[in-house]
Amino acid sequence: MTAETAEAGPSPLAERLLAVAAALAVQAHQAQEGLTDSTALLTQASRAVDELRALVRDQEAAVATPLLVKMDELAGALIDDYNARVTAATEHNGVVGVRTGIDHLDETINGLEPGKLYILAAMPGAGKTTLALQMAATVAQNGYPALYVSLENDATDLARKTVCRFSEISYAQALKGKVAPSVWRDGVADLAKLNGRLFLSTPRATMPDLADLIEQVTAQAGQPPALVVIDYLQAWVKRAATLTAEVGVREQIDRFTPALRAIGERYGCAVLTISSQNRAGYTAGGMGALKESGDIEYNADVTLTLQKREVPPGTPPSVNTPIELAVNKNRQGMCGRPVKLTLRGDWCMIDEEDV
């Protein structure tokens, strides 16, 4: 170490490398002493590989991004960008990004644009997984690959919910085996509407490398996914944490969300991640209601919140739930008015009430 480097302080890159190495060393030592098994060691080794790959990608991005540019030198880039937007808007029926199927939302945020990070927050039971899965299916139906990564649902259940939405079959009855076999077979056949373009990943013990998943989708679909969904942010960060992590979940999320955005930029994907809400947000909503929020709202290009709507006193009970989707932040546009929706929970679908 030279005097100059000593004065500059410890290298963030070196610190991250040491943290990865230390976590792996601790696990290896415990395995050697018989305090843990080989499965745990392999899991930690896989996490170390994922983190090292992320470090390499971060450094590549840092080198590729100029720190200083003259504005007039961007003239050519602006023309290219505009021409690409004209082409995309023609392809996506008036918006630049891929459509979600919620028309008013698409018009407000210009669709889900490649390279941008979207956060969807909601209280439990408000329909955030239903909405995100429906968006991913809509993208696939429109002919674009989509990747849905879930840490709560297995792949079979996600497919079951999509069948119920497509064919308006009761999810509860399907779980109980009370749907006529012929009706269920016809419903399952409706999965062909996805054109083989909706890919699912449901990791449990070992967290996958997101870039690897995207590259696998690209290899199978012939193009990168237009949309990547992470369901959900807090669970991913907690499971991916190293044994020696010295920071809390909030700080880890602050590091993870920029990495998600960088992956979207690298592969040209829109990234939609679901976030939990704190209890204060169950009624107040807004960006401050994001659980362990930290800098989530600052890192995101668009922040969405899903809330249950109050119903007038005396309204008859219903199996459906009135909800409202609000754009709380839109980095490149206006937020518009909240969209009134209806969660039809037993059919695993969300309908738009107004456009």
Quick one: pLDDT band at residue 255, thresholds 50, 70, 90? confident
Contact predicate 169/184, CB 8 Å: yes
Q: Is the pLDDT of residue 16 over 80?
A: no
CATH number, domain of 268, equals 3.40.50.300
> Do both 290 and 186 map to the same domain?
yes
The total domain count for the chain is 2
- CB 146, CB 214: distance < 8 Å: no
Check pLDDT > 70 for residue 181: yes
Clarify whether residues 315 and 257 are in a common domain.
Answer: yes
The SS3 assignment for 43 reads helix
- Distance CA(228)–CA(208), nearest Å, equals 14
Comparing CA positions, the residue from 109, 106, 104 lying closest to residue 92 is 106
Q: Is 103 in the same domain as 60?
A: no
**């190495």: which residue's tokens?**
21
Residues 241 and 329 in one domain: yes
Sign of CA dihedral 64, 70, 75, 78: positive
The mean pLDDT of 152-157, rounded to a whole number, is 95
Which range (35-39, 54-58, 101-105, 147-151) has the least confidence?
Answer: 54-58
pLDDT of residue 6: 42
Cα–Cα dist 260/272, whole Å: 9
User: Using an 8 Å Cβ cutoff, are 270 and 75 in contact?
Assistant: no
16 and 119 belong to one structural domain: no
**pLDDT tens digits for 296-320?**
778 899 999 999 998 778 777 778 9
Same domain, 140 and 47: no
Same domain, 62 and 108: no
Cα separation, 325 vs 308, whole angstroms: 9
Compute the Cα dihedral for 64, 65, 70, 73 and give only its sign. Answer: positive
Instruction: Tell me the residue range of the domain where 292 lies.
Output: 99-352
Preceding peptide of 267 cis, ω within 30°: no
* Structural domain ending residue among the three candidates 14, 45, 67: 67
Residues 155 and 249 in one domain: yes
The model's pLDDT over 92-141, given as tens digits with 9 standing for 90+, comes to: 999 999 999 999 999 999 999 999 999 999 988 899 999 999 999 999 99
Predicted structure pTM score: 0.79
Output 280 or 197, whichever has higher pLDDT. 197
- Which structure tokens are listed for 127? 């329909």
